[in-house]
Amino acid sequence: MIKEKLFKVRAKARIRKSKEEINKNIKNFFAWIKGAEIIELKECDTNKDPVRPELDNEFRTSYGRKIYGVKYKNEIHAVMCFAFTNKIPKSVHELDLFSRDAFLQSATRDQNVGKIAIAYTVWSNKRGGGKLIVKEVFKMIKKSNHLNRLVTLSPLTEMARNFHLKNGAEEVSVNEETQNFEYKL
């Protein structure tokens, strides 16, 4: 009888300690998200890019293309790269051509590059960073005066498909080498 009570007391103590640890981990997880900010980057470590490491920083920042990062405590925890176009590309080659075209068109008009923001790579070093950067960039694009669509140029992987569908995007097309998803603004 005493052994049973002692066993139950120890079991309850382990459960309580586990719950406390889980709550502490959840608080730490949300603390980093609340303290994070989105910033424009001049460059990123392209070797960390699991989607398109072959694209150098010059590609990522020329012709109106941009790199955004989630910064927390002076470290970058997630990165998302964009090109601005007037058409939806089906390959990296089209992305390059369409963003150059939109950039050159804007030079003779209002300096606003393209009407469509094309997210062509995203990665995160910290849990929750990918979802956070998508959410924050979505807000930023929604506030812009000239952008009316947010579309991805994603690899043909189940992981990319699941990530975008889980985060509220709709599938636009499946191409030979890529797939496109759109986040409704």
What pLDDT was estimated at residue 95?
A: 97
The Cα–Cα gap between 11 and 5 comes to 10
pLDDT at 25: 55
pLDDT at position 146, please?
79
Q: What is the mean pLDDT of each run of 10 residues along the chain (185 residues)?
A: 67 64 54 76 95 97 94 91 95 96 81 85 88 85 85 95 92 96 90
> CB–CB of 132/78 below 8 Å?
yes
Beta strands in the chain (DSSP E): 37-41, 66-72, 75-85, 116-124, 149-152, 154-155, 170-174, 178-183
Can you give the pLDDT at residue 142?
Answer: 84
User: Please, is 40 exposed, middle or buried when counting C-beta atoms within 10 Å of its C-beta (0-12, 13-18, 19+)?
Assistant: exposed
Q: Which residues contact 60 (CB under 8 A, 6 or more apart)?
A: 43, 44, 46, 66, 67, 81
Predicted local confidence at residue 9, as pLDDT: 64
Percentage helix, strand, coil, to 5, in the chain? 45, 25, 30
Residue range 37-183, CATH number: 3.40.630.150
What the block records as the tokens of 79 is 């990165």
Token pair of 82, please?
């964009």
In order of 41, 83, 122, 135, 148, the CA distances from 69 in angstroms are 6, 15, 10, 12, 22
